[in-house]
Chains A and B, each alone.
Chain A
Amino acid sequence: MRINRFSAAILLGIPLIYLIVFFVTPLGMVVVDSFSNPAGELTLANYAAVLGEAYYWQVLGYTLWIALVTCVATLLLGYPLAYYMSLIEHRRTVRRVCFILILMPLFTSNIVRSFGWIVLLGREGLVNETLLLLGIIDRPLRLLSTEVAIIVGMIYVMLPFMVLAIASVLQNMNGSLREASRDLGATAFATFVKVTLPLSAPGIVAGTLIVFTLSISSYVTPRIMSGGRSVVSSMLIYDQFMLVFNPFLGSAIAVVLLVTSFALIVAYTLIMERRPGRGGAS
């Protein structure tokens, strides 16, 4: 279908204006701020402070680490779920129930959801109370404010995105490809490794990209699960803006995080494109 210039201008113009007003402009302001000092002069001092301080590097590293672990964990948990929902379960109703259950976490607000974790994992939370009651432990365990708690919380929030990205690719995969593989002598496992997995690569790439980027910028879950300590970049940025009132340093941290994650994502996409799901038959 060909569309005329006028329609094209409208179709492209509206999202373009939206992006400029609500994305490019604030981002530009952040970048400008990151090169400014309170007197309004241009300076590299903010970057010197961020890049020269080991603490900021640690937080950045930890942010990326949490995002990476979340990514890998949701992939390992989400792939079987997506596989089951799209390829094994053929009853429509069961499929729908699965989708609703998977989407459930997204129906509730991030904050309500995370406070749910406190009720569950807190010192006097359900898990500790139960374990105490059963006499399995004598003192409440520290479940919140640990790295494991942050990662568990992150996985819970991010899993739907991974499952949906992979399931959509698996569902559209031509079923006779798997039959052809079996027909030609491949076992069920070989069929998965040689056919299903390489052909679901686009879903894996999409899922990991979404989960990684959302994890890097995630704020509420790490804040609540970490017990309030500033452990990831988004919390550090928030603190600089809202508590320390140093938007200039906060902007510099934000830009560093942005550039780093952008570079990582570009590298990742390039690597995945170089081998477009080529499993290799031999």
Chain B
Amino acid sequence: MPLITIDRVTKSYGSLQVLKGVSLNIEEGEFVALLGPSGCGKTTLLRAIAGFVAIDGGDIVIGGRSIVDEPPNRRPVNMVFQNYALFPHLTVRENVAFGPRRNGVSKADTAAIVDPALETVGMSAYGERLPGQLSGGQQQRVALARAIANKPKVLLLDEPLGALDLKLRKRMQMELKDLHQKLGITFLFVTHDQEEALVMADRIVVMQDGDIAQVGTGEDIYARPASRYVADFIGEANLLPLERAADGTLRIAGESEPLPYQAPDGGAAATLLVRPEEVRLGVVPEGGVGLSGTLTDRVYIGNATRLFVRTASGQSVVIQQAGAGPEAAIPPGTPVRIGWAREAARVLTG
């Protein structure tokens, strides 16, 4: 049985429906990321689990018990807030002790919880400081220690790394992953950063307009996106609109050559997804797809080079190649031939 069952949860603010019947199961010990742009409902869902948002319909069950009628202080979850929400009038130790003390742990026994919690996040030396005397990264660690001091069944994290600079964020991503391993607690993590979700999460839940667009491992979602929306959100993507010819074959809009792909069922609009690293310059693999175009621009980004091509029918295609490559010599404006292997592209609805 899953640890958390989210069952057809709905929530509206006035006429705006922010959760449209979301259902999701989370197993014990999983690290799940809720991923999506702002306004997709991911934070609302997290806050509904924490108890700060009253849901209109559906149910949330944790460990076999429905928690929707419980106040936040009675739920078996703890949250790391986006801005950490450390109590500014309490020292680091008092912040971490806050939870255990409210839950009836005696003063003497609290130390036995606070010390290891601070040690886990490497903040033992800062116990007597006030939050205002700590850096952003240190506050982040204290917020983590405070949230795990209650030994919750689920740790909720609301974009906890958003305020940190890039380098620190990368390091904290790895530390959070380690912490998850060490504690064995279920982590539910909200982020709008697809890379962060890919790095940390066992499973990614991509959200779109109050609904779940796709659930899967990072690899599932990157390699086999369920829709144009998901493909566009995760990683770089060339998304080429498709047309159906009279004979039922698919073509890239404006191109005449039929594609070796099946049209989706029904009359839904279709898009072809090709990742930039799958596109070849000057070569069309056997049985693959080839297009003619013009090289419009070239950008060197250190570990790779990105080439921008405009096809004869006016589509732009990005090619990413490792290193600088011999293409560095091709001047923009040169007519080129591009192509990709048949299995490197996918037809998506939308």
**Footprint of B on A, CB under 8 Å?**
174, 176-177, 179-188, 190, 194-195, 198-199, 276-282
Contacts and interface: CB of A to CB of B under 8 A. Distances in A.
28 contacts: A174-B85, A176-B81, A176-B85, A177-B88, A180-B86, A181-B98, A182-B51, A182-B73, A183-B78, A184-B73, A184-B98, A184-B147, A185-B103, A186-B73, A186-B98, A186-B102, A187-B71, A188-B71, A195-B87, A198-B89, A199-B87, A276-B89, A279-B89, A280-B90, A281-B93, A281-B94, A282-B94, A282-B107
A105 B217 CA distance: 64
B50 interface: yes
B83 interface: yes
B83 A174 contact: yes
Given A185-B103, A282-B97, A179 B52 contact: yes
Given A182-B73, A183-B79, A185-B102, A177 B87 contact: yes
Contacts of A179: 50, 52, 72, 79, 81, 85
B99 interface: yes
B114 to A, nearest CB: 9
Contact of A282 (B81, B85, B101, B103): B101
Contacts of B101: 281-282
A195 B86 CA distance: 11
Contact of A183 (B73, B82, B94): B73
Interface in B28-80: 50-52, 71-73, 77-79
B320 interface: no
A96 to B, nearest CB: 20
A276 B103 CA distance: 26
A25 to B, nearest CB: 42
A184 B52 CA distance: 13
Given A177-B87, A184-B73, A276-B89, 6 more contacts: A177-B88, A183-B72, A279-B89, A280-B90, A281-B101, A282-B97
Contacts of A180: 79, 81, 85-87, 146
A187 B104 CA distance: 12
Contacts of A184: 73, 78, 98-99, 102, 146-147, 150
A179 B82 CA distance: 12
The 6 closest A-B pairs by CB, nearest first: A281-B94, A184-B99, A185-B102, A180-B85, A176-B85, A182-B72
A184 B81 CA distance: 12
A176 B83 contact: yes
Nearest to A173: B88
Given A179-B81, A190-B102, A185 B150 contact: yes
A188 B73 CA distance: 9
A188 B74 CA distance: 12
Q: Which of B50, B87, B97 gathers the greatest number of chain A CB atoms within 10 Å?
A: B87
Contact of B89 (A174, A187, A190, A199): A199
Given A185-B102, A186-B102, A277 B89 contact: yes
B95 interface: yes
A179 to B, nearest CB: 6
B140 interface: no
A199 B103 contact: no
A277 to B, nearest CB: 5
Contacts of B82: 176
B5 interface: no
A282 B50 CA distance: 24
Given A281-B94, A281-B101, A282-B94, A185 B73 contact: yes
Interface string B172-196: 0000000000000000000000000
Contacts of B97: 281-282
A281 B73 contact: no
B245 to A, nearest CB: 56
A90 B86 CA distance: 24
B110 interface: yes
A185 B73 CA distance: 4
Interface string B93-126: 1110111011100010010000000000000000
B11 to A, nearest CB: 17
A144 B312 CA distance: 94
A145 B154 CA distance: 64
Contacts of B99: 184-185
A194 B73 contact: no
Contacts of B81: 176, 179-180
A183 B83 contact: no
Contacts of A281: 87, 90, 93-95, 97-98, 101
B164 to A, nearest CB: 17
Nearest to B94: A281
A194 to B, nearest CB: 7
Contacts of A194: 98, 102
